[in-house]
Amino acid sequence: MKLNFFKMHAQGNDYIYFDLIDKPLPKIDFPKLAIKLSNRNFSIGSDGIVLILDSETSNAKMRMFNADGSEGKMCGSALRCVSYYLSQRLEKNKITVETLAGNRTGLIKDEEEISVTIDLGIPEFIQSENITINNLEGSLISLGNPHFVTFLESLSENIAKYQGPIIDNPAFFPDGINVEFVKVINKNEIEIKVWERGSGVTLACGTGACAASFCGIKKGFLTSPIKVQMPGGSVTVELKKSNIFLTGKVEHVFSGSIEI
């Protein structure tokens, strides 16, 4: 079976996308396919794969599978890329996408650079108390997916590589957790490094940027809007009333077809 695909990234957080709208869902082991295609040495290489499907409630439905084959409920980077793709397909600048975390809205600006703003809904603290793991104190935040957010004075180059898997451990979090290591630059700017459950170290994480910003705002040392610097680039996060919005550039890398 041959499937068409395209690859996009948002600040280096890259996924392989399959447009399956108006098509029967092929009988494919998608978790296994995600593991295979995400391999950066022996395949296309990515942080996972994303299926774009028919939806009864939105312009389309998004399902995403991480590089280890696990399915995620939400991915801010993938949601922005899907929103842009649908805007081109449907010739609309406002898009709604169904996800496992609920329906989300994307607003596209296609000017000199392609910028997408998505409404990620209402973030919340999973619990009110901080927890400490391996001497790192962090807050637990949910944006449809869970995050451990820890604020530090400085960020070593490989902190996510070494500390991420210690925190993202079934002994602490049976379903896994995303981890954000955060350095405050000023009240409107932070730097983060990310460990994503199911993918490991990534160049960016949209929901991670939002989780870190929300946590800092609620703790009183950040003010919206916030510029979030990540190894793959920067995004802007805004908290408007109770909803959190993520804005950043997306880019189409290439398209192709693959025999499954």
What is the Cα–Cα distance from 120 to 77, expressed in whole angstroms?
11
* CA angle, 129 then 159 then 73, to 5°: 60
The yes-or-no answer on residue 81 being catalytic is: no
Closest of 90, 96, 28 to residue 65, by C-alpha? 28
- Please identify which of the residues 75, 81, 210, 215 carries the catalytic annotation: 75
In this structure, are residues 211 and 123 in contact, taking their beta carbons and an 8 Å threshold?
yes
The yes-or-no answer on residue 205 being catalytic is: yes
- Please identify which of the residues 81, 205, 210, 215 carries the catalytic annotation: 205
In this structure, are residues 27 and 50 in contact, taking their beta carbons and an 8 Å threshold?
no
CA distances from 91 to 26, 54, 176 (A): 27, 17, 38
Residues annotated catalytic, as ranges: 75, 205
